[in-house]
Amino acid sequence: MGMLELATRIARVKYGGHFTLMKFTTGYRFCFGTMDYHSDYMKWREIIRDMPEGKTLDEAISKAIIRELK
């Protein structure tokens, strides 16, 4: 089973099927659930900064899963 498939299963069971995935020049950001919208730009950037990150998609997802298990 690949990391994305595992993340999809976790999201389906615990988050109504939702997860958030972002791709940037420097890598990926991933979290379970959906991000709350904030009209405050700095708050929005803070939320993104706090998402698990990785140079690869699998790395970002594995960090999110580890955070989920804590």
Q: Is the pTM of this model over 0.85?
A: yes
Domain boundaries, position 33: 3-69
3-state SS string over 7-64?
A: HHHHHHHHCCCCEEEEEECCEEEEEECCCCCCCCHHHHHHHHHCCCEECCHHHHHHHH
3-state class (DSSP) for residue 3: helix
The amino acid at 11: A
* Whether the predicted pLDDT of 40 surpasses 90: no
3-state class (DSSP) for residue 41: helix
Q: Which helix (H) or strand (E) holds 58?
A: helix 57-69
Q: How many domains does the chain have?
A: 1
- pLDDT for the residue 1: 73
- pLDDT for the residue 41: 86
- pLDDT for the residue 58: 97
